[in-house]
Amino acid sequence: MTDQPAQAPLPPQQAVMQLLFGKQLTYCLSGVAWLGVADHLDATPMPVEEIAAKTGAHAPSLYRVMRLLASMGIFKEEQGKRFALTPAGEFLKSDTPGTLRYFAMMFGDEWTTRAYEHFTGCLRSGQDGISQAYGNHVFDVLAERPKQLEVFQAAMTSGSALAGEAINQAYNFSGIKRLADVGGGHGALLASILRRYPEMQGVLFDRAEIVAGVPQDRFAGCEGRIAIEAGSFFERVPDGCDAYIMKHIIHDWSDEHCRTILDLMREKLPRDGRVLVCEMVVTDEPGPTPAKMLDIEMLVMTVGGKERTPEEFRQLFASSGLRLTRIVPTSRPISVIEAVPA
């Protein structure tokens, strides 16, 4: 979204309408993602009736939605109400690496929708939309909704694969002896780092119910180099590590909560240790950057979570006795923000 081709600006009236119709696009994508439309398509055009039959859809309605998405470059419409998949549309297939199918489904799910109903309330009070809609924290809301939780986790996992690869390519982890991935989920990032650095030891740390779900073969080939620990990062972090990595953890929480986590790390960290925070960074770059957009999602969906500017990261680290040393960009909209004991 930052490298759009130069084009004549729309007249203001149409520009506002296009922004306002953003919701329609989200839900169109969400609808076809739920039906799994892309899984039945490739570059060969298929009649919409056939697509509808395969996905259990109402053909005339599906046609109207696919026509709109074709105009946005997701499908290619051919004579006779036939559609093919474009390269952008490939990302709605379930098995495309970095698939966005589950994100699309999630963005249309009830729990994300209801939270957005309270956007004005967020603006008035600063309180998040989930609390206003459900009187509960997002993770508690999801815990009560297994199907929606499943979609959420699939969305997070699919985004993780590409980001993990990009982090691994961009940052030089050599020199680290024992790395703890705090809030490391099912261990995809840690496993990819351990495979690349055969001398390194790793600790996967997350809540008990999460680490219980780590796939059996996740750390295949890293035997003897990996420990799995269960716990809450507000209470403790693993011992004996010279580096801690946290991917998409800090942006979930307020400064105050982040300090609790960072303080725990600071206490355990050796003089030459480091903290690696993997997040988007809000820059002064004009345009609707991914960081600015995701920041709105955090505003509505989390209690105090946000995307931060370099200055905000610097201050956050400083308040926990850490010093930001550098920000390493990756090929994806995620950076590695490195800090050491101050």
Partner 1 sequence: MQLLFGKQITYAVSGIARLGVADHMDGTPKPVKEIAAKTGAHAPTLYRVMRMLAGLGVFKEGPKRHFVLAPVGELLRTNALGSLRYMAMMLGEEFSTRAYEHVATCLRTGGNGVTEAYSKPIWDVLAERPEQRDTYQRAMSNVSAVSAHAIAAAYDFSSIERLADVGGGQGLLLATLLRRYPYLHGVLFDRPEVVAGVPADRFESYTGRVELEGGSFFDRVPDGCDAYVLKHIIHDWSDEHCGKILSRIREKLPKDGRLLVCDLVVSDEPGPTPAKMLDFQMLIMTDGGQERTEEEFRDLLAASGLRLTRIVPTGRPISVIEAVPA
Per the annotation, the verdict on 137 as an active-site residue is: no
Binder among 46, 48, 62, 243 for partner 1 (CB under 8 A): 62
Nearer to partner 1, 244 or 313 (CB): 313
d(CA 115, CA 113): 5
Sheet holding 226-230, edge to edge: 226-230, 201-206, 178-182, 243-247, 274-279, 335-341, 322-329
d(CA 150, CA 111): 13
In the window 298-327, what residues touch partner 1 (CB under 8 A)? Answer: 299-300, 306
Q: Does 254 bind partner 1 (CB under 8 A)?
A: no
Nearer to partner 1, 224 or 286 (CB): 286
d(CA 123, CA 28): 27
Dig out the tokens for 308 from the structure. Answer: 């931060």
Q: Does 287 bind partner 1 (CB under 8 A)?
A: yes
Q: How far is the CB of 93 from partner 1 (least distance, A)?
A: 15
Q: Does 53 bind partner 1 (CB under 8 A)?
A: no
d(CA 292, CA 280): 9
Dig out the tokens for 241 from the structure. Answer: 């590590």
Q: Does 72 bind partner 1 (CB under 8 A)?
A: yes
Q: Does 271 bind partner 1 (CB under 8 A)?
A: no
In the window 17-46, what residues touch partner 1 (CB under 8 A)? Answer: 17-32, 34-35
Query: Applying CB under 8 A, which part among 14-22, 182-190, 194-202, 258-266 lies near partner 1?
Result: 14-22
DSSP 111-139: HHHHHHTTHHHHHHH---HHHHHHSS-HH
Nearer to partner 1, 34 or 173 (CB): 34
Binder among 178, 195, 292, 314 for partner 1 (CB under 8 A): 292
Q: How far is the CB of 253 from partner 1 (least distance, A)?
A: 15
Q: Does 15 bind partner 1 (CB under 8 A)?
A: yes
The residue with tokens 């705090």 is 182
In the window 114-153, what residues touch partner 1 (CB under 8 A)? Answer: 114, 116-117, 119-120, 122-126
Terminal Cα distance for the chain, rounded: 37
282 Cβ contact list (under 8 Å, min separation 6): 289, 291, 292, 295, 307, 308, 309, 312
Number of residues forming the site for partner 1 (CB under 8 A): 71
Query: Applying CB under 8 A, which part among 38-46, 140-148, 286-294, 315-323 lies near partner 1?
Result: 286-294
140 Cβ contact list (under 8 Å, min separation 6): none
Nearer to partner 1, 72 or 208 (CB): 72
Dig out the tokens for 180 from the structure. Answer: 């703890």
Q: Which of 118, 186, 248, 251 is catalytic?
A: 251
Q: How far is the CB of 300 from partner 1 (least distance, A)?
A: 8
Nearer to partner 1, 56 or 224 (CB): 56
User: Whats the size of the chain, residue-wise?
Assistant: 342
Q: How far is the CB of 48 from partner 1 (least distance, A)?
A: 12
Q: Does 198 bind partner 1 (CB under 8 A)?
A: no
Q: Output b/e per residue, 278-304; b: 16+ Cβ within 10 A.
A: bbbbbeeeeeebebeebbebbbbbbeb
Q: Does 113 bind partner 1 (CB under 8 A)?
A: yes
Nearer to partner 1, 99 or 320 (CB): 99
CB-CB contact of 206 with 184 (8 Å): yes
Nearer to partner 1, 36 or 238 (CB): 36
* Catalytic sites, residue numbers: 251
